[in-house]
């Protein structure tokens, strides 16, 4: 429960149709399993206390009385168990029969929710009720109604509502009202029959609903133990969170519990950032419940590279979409400025390679030759033979114009002018080269009537790993919202669709260590300055950036997720060290992001000062670093 994680479970119940006492024993067994797993919330299938397929037997008072007795027995069994439980049963209320879900915890029934959208002739729609009412059970008054919210007494974000069976398909969903009133999780007991394709349709529907409502969904479906007289039920359970299926019990899969953790802080961040998300509190009644707060053991999967889809097919689609977005952005800027050419500083590294590939696509969209791209290579002290060779080969294979401007003498003269010792490899030594390169590129762009295309990426901007008014500046930054981990995959994607010689060059560029090449090479002419040795692994920084910026997570949670995700790769000390570096640099380097050139947004994370990151340059990182240290 700490850090906003609520462990949820969808339980399978092997029902005996029409035998509540037998079903009660099965339900108690499942509750004990959920208790052992320390689940906060357990959702069981629709009408599981009697069985969903009782038909006209629901009219029989003996079955209804036995169902209530079974509910009492099940509820009593939870006196010393941890989970809050939701189980379905038929209930007669005001001489009408309702398909209900009972919510109970620690031996007490918290509330009863009747179904609103009814397609069975045995049950009445709760729309006929006047509002949230009271059901008397064992001498106690139990809240009874469709608009009940169940709120934890200590954690404000831990609030859930119940949506039964057909209600999830309704035009006016119960979940819409409940989430608007504050519910973060929707418990969905159901009994959906299995026909060809229905499992994929359910998956799509719950994924879409959770995304639209910024909610978590726990769907528990009836199983094949129900009557198979006319249809079969598949035990297909789903747990979803804001558009992502966290866990699935596939059709007919044998499993007592489907378990995952829903991150309420992530859902809260989504709602908070969406200014169009409407909150309406009228019409719902709140039922407060207690549950001990402890640290939830995580079992859900976290992408080590959250900007890069792990599924190969999705990765290809995402890569093509991003490249198209970048290319169309550059196409518009080139045509709008009547640029005679696109000028790019090419180093043989990943970022400039991606920018060049995007420029080639943009020229094709403009029906202009690739020779309208001018690639400029500017060797100096740190240029390695490998990167220079790749830069030359890349330009040749793509058919772009190549110009070499050796800036060594210019930089040496500049050192003389300002009194810089050429053997002092300090920040001035490095930045002078970066600024000289930018000046050369800007002047050539002016000379040719062209547009200087920037190459810096999102990860470098987040860390401030760019020379102010050096590689930090351009006339249009096509990579501005593409993180380093994604740049590598985009270049590899283009390699897979290229001719053999170009493919070889692109693959070698992907395999080359990331470096600004501002310090002299070693005696073998190889790269001596490796970026990730200095600022840390980009896979960690991109992981921190995604969760920090996208959801506003605190440092303690960032570190917890990093340990959970990268614990077999990095020690806790290493993870903490680079998180400290990320936080310090993210705050201290904001002044560079405050004056970024234009560039296309391609994903959910962008640091543009015009529409995505409105952050004061003088903001202090002290409280974030203090929490990390403590």
Note the pLDDT tens digit of each residue in 182-208: 999 999 999 988 988 888 999 999 999
State how far the Cα of 219 lies from the Cα of 197, in Å rounded to an integer.
17
d(CA 246, CA 232): 25
DSSP sequence for 103-132: EEETTEEEEEEE-SS--STTS--GGGS-SS
Fold classification of 2-289 (topology level): Nitrilase/N-carbamoyl-D-aminoacid amidohydrolase (3.60.110)
> What is the rounded CA–CA span in Å between residue 528 and residue 117?
68
pLDDT in tens, 508-536: 999 988 877 667 877 666 666 777 788 89
What is residue 74's predicted lDDT score, i.e. its pLDDT? 98
Superfamily of domain 312-533: HUPs (3.40.50.620)
Residue 23: pLDDT above 80? Answer: yes
Report the C-alpha gap between 249 and 234 in whole angstroms: 9
> Does the structure show a pLDDT above 70 at 595?
yes
Range with the poorest average pLDDT among 18-27, 439-448, 504-513, 518-527: 518-527
**Are 7 and 261 a contacting pair, CB within 8 Å?**
yes
pLDDT in tens, 312-370: 888 899 999 999 999 999 999 999 999 999 999 999 999 999 999 999 999 999 999 99
3-state helix, strand, coil split of the chain in percent (to 5) is 40, 20, 40
Reduce the DSSP state of residue 259 to 3 states and report it: strand
Q: What does the block give as tokens for 80?
A: 């010393």
More confident residue, 578 or 120: 578
- The structure's pTM equals 0.92
Residues of the chain with CATH 3.40.50.620: 312-533
Sign of CA dihedral 572, 573, 577, 578: negative
Range(s) within the chain of domains with CATH label 3.60.110.10? 2-289
Q: Are 310 and 303 in contact (CB under 8 A)?
A: yes
Point out the least confidently predicted range of 76-85, 169-178, 209-218, 418-427: 169-178
Q: Residue 273's beta-bridge partner residues?
A: none
β-pairing, 451-454 with 342-345? parallel
The enclosing H or E element of 141 equals strand 140-144
Match 């896979």 to its residue by tokens: 539
Give the pLDDT of residue 507.
96
Q: Flag whether pLDDT at 72 surpasses 70.
A: yes
pLDDT at position 528 is 63
Asked if residue 22 has pLDDT above 90, the reply is yes
168, 175, 204, 240, 300 from 210: Cα distances, Å: 11, 10, 10, 6, 17
Sole residue written with tokens 């850090």: 3
Contact (CB, 8 A) for 306 and 318 = no
How is residue 295 annotated by DSSP? P
- CB burial of residue 584 (10 Å; 0-12, 13-18, 19+): middle
């Amino acid at each position: 429960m700490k850090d906003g994680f609520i462990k949820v479970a969808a339980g399978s119940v092997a029902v005996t149709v029409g035998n509540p006492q037998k079903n009660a024993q099965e339900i108690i067994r499942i509750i004990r399993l959920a208790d052992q797993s320390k689940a906060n919330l357990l959702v069981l299938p629709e009408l599981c206390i009697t069985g969903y397929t009782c038909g006209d037997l629901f009219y029989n008072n003996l079955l209804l009385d036995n169902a209530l007795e079974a509910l009492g027995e099940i509820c009593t069994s939870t006196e010393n168990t941890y989970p809050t439980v939701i189980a379905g049963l038929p209930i007669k209320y005001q001489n009408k029969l309702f398909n209900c879900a009972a919510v109970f915890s620690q031996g007490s029934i918290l509330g009863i929710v009747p179904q609103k959208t009814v397609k069975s002739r045995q049950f009445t729609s709760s729309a006929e009720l006047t509002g949230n009412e009271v059901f008397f059970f064992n001498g106690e008054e139990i809240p009874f109604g469709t608009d009940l919210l169940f709120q934890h007494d200590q954690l404000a974000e831990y609030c859930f509502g119940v949506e039964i069976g057909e209600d999830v398909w309704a035009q006016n969903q119960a979940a819409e009202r409940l989430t608007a009133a504050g519910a973060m999780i929707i418990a969905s007991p159901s009994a959906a029959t299995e026909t060809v394709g229905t499992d994929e349709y359910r998956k799509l529907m719950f994924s879409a609903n959770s995304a639209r409502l910024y909610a978590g969904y726990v769907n528990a479906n009836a199983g094949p133990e129900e009557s198979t007289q006319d249809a079969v039920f598949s035990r297909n359970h789903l747990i979803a969170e804001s558009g992502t299926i966290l866990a699935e019990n596939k059709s007919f899969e044998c499993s007592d519990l489907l378990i995952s953790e829903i991150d309420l802080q992530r859902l809260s961040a989504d709602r908070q950032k969406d200014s169009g998300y409407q909150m309406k509190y009228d019409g719902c009644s709140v039922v407060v419940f207690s549950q001990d707060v402890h640290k939830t053991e995580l079992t859900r999967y976290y992408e080590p590279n959250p900007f890069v889809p792990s599924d190969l097919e999705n990765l290809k689609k995402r890569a093509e979409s991003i490249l198209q977005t970048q290319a169309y952005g550059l196409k518009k800027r080139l045509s709008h400025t009547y640029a005679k050419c696109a000028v790019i500083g090419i180093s043989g590294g990943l970022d400039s390679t991606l920018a060049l590939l995007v420029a080639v696509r943009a020229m094709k969209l403009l029906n202009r030759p690739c020779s309208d791209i001018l690639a400029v290579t500017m060797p100096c002290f740190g240029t390695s033979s490998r990167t220079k060779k790749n830069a030359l080969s890349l330009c040749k294979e793509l058919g772009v114009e190549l110009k070499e401007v050796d800036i060594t003498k210019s930089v040496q003269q500049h050192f003389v002018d300002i009194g810089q010792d050429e053997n002092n490899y300090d920040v001035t030594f490095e930045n002078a080269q970066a600024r000289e390169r930018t000046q050369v590129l800007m002047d050539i762009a002016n000379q040719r009537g062209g547009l200087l295309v920037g190459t810096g990426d999102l990860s470098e901007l987040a860390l401030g790993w760019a020379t102010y008014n050096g590689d930090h500046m351009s006339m249009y930054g096509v990579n501005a919202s593409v993180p380093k981990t994604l740049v590598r995959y985009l270049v590899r994607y283009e390699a897979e669709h290229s001719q053999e010689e170009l493919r070889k060059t692109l693959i070698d560029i992907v395999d080359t260590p990331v470096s600004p090449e501002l310090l002299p090479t070693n005696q073998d002419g190889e790269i001596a300055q490796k970026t990730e040795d200095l600022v840390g692994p980009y896979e960690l920084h991109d992981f921190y950036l995604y969760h920090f910026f996208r959801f506003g997570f605190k440092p303690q949670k960032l570190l917890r997720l990093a340990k959970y995700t990268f614990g077999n790769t990095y020690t806790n000390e290493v993870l903490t060290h680079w998180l400290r570096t990320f936080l310090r640099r993210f705050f201290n380097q904001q002044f560079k992001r405050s004056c970024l050139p234009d560039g296309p947004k391609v994903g959910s994370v962008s640091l543009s000062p015009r529409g995505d990151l409105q952050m004061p340059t003088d903001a202090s990182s002290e409280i974030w670093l203090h929490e990390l240290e403590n």
